[in-house]
């Protein structure tokens, strides 16, 4: 052992054993997996309600589980508006029929972002935005809900509080 020099520190303790491995959680059981798949089917089919938030001027909503970045982009007007519908001068019933047909046709045409101009209610009785409030209800509970991923009040250049961006689901089969 000639020429062998001790290591610095001179500690003769054995090295520490490696840390214990973290146990892997067990795989989901079949019942939970079925529930998750059903929730996913409901989301894709538009059966889940939209989450909504609103202020006195702005309304917005999104399908549960939608990436918050998409809603943020929609709110900022970062999606190209591919078509628009102007509801000025229409009655509640006329507007409902137009909105339903417009959103259905836009989705089937493969459009992803459209603008619905509802006005601010200045021409209505009591100055209440009747169509704006109706749109919110239709988007949440009406038949058009199945076409929507999200909606948000438009930027001032696109109509501001008198219009709403609508992000549509992809056309079935795409």
The per-residue pLDDT for range 76-97, each reduced to its tens digit, is 999 999 999 999 988 889 999 9
Q: What is the C-alpha to C-alpha distance for residues 75 and 136, in angstroms, rounded to an integer?
A: 16
For the record, the structure tokens of 30 come out as 């079949």
Number of domains in the chain: 1
Is 141 contained in some domain?
yes
**Which pTM value belongs to this model?**
0.66
Is 23 contained in some domain?
no
C-alpha triplet 125, 126, 130: angle, nearest 5°: 65
What CATH number is attached to the domain comprising 132?
Answer: 3.30.1370.110
Is 95 contained in some domain?
yes
Would you say 171 and 44 are in contact if contact means Cβ atoms under 8 Å apart?
A: no
Is 40 contained in some domain?
no
Is 113 contained in some domain?
yes
- What's the domain range around 101? 49-168
Is 26 contained in some domain?
no
Q: What is the C-alpha to C-alpha distance for residues 168 and 105, in angstroms, rounded to an integer?
A: 11
Place 119 in a pLDDT band, splitting at 50, 70 and 90: confident
Q: What is the C-alpha to C-alpha distance for residues 86 and 24, in angstroms, rounded to an integer?
A: 55
Q: What is the C-alpha to C-alpha distance for residues 173 and 46, in angstroms, rounded to an integer?
A: 15
Is 87 contained in some domain?
yes
Res 33: pLDDT:
66
Is 4 contained in some domain?
no
């Amino acid at each position: 052992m000639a020429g062998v020099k001790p290591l610095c520190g001179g500690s003769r303790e054995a090295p520490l054993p490696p840390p214990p491995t973290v146990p892997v959680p067990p795989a989901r059981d079949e019942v939970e997996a079925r529930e998750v798949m059903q929730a996913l089917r409901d989301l894709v089919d538009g059966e889940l309600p939209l989450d909504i938030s609103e202020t006195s001027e702005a309304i917005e909503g999104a399908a549960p589980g939608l990436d918050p970045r998409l809603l943020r982009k929609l709110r900022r007007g970062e999606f190209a508006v591919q078509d628009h519908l102007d509801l000025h001068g229409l009655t509640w019933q006329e507007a409902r029929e137009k909105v339903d047909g417009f959103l259905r046709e836009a989705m089937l045409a493969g459009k992803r972002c459209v603008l619905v101009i509802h006005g601010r209610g200045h021409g209505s009785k009591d100055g209440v935005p009747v169509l704006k409030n109706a749109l919110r209800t239709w988007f949440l509970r009406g038949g058009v809900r199945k076409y929507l991923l999200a909606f948000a009040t438009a930027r001032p250049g696109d109509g501001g509080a008198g219009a709403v961006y609508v992000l549509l689901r992809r056309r079935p089969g795409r």
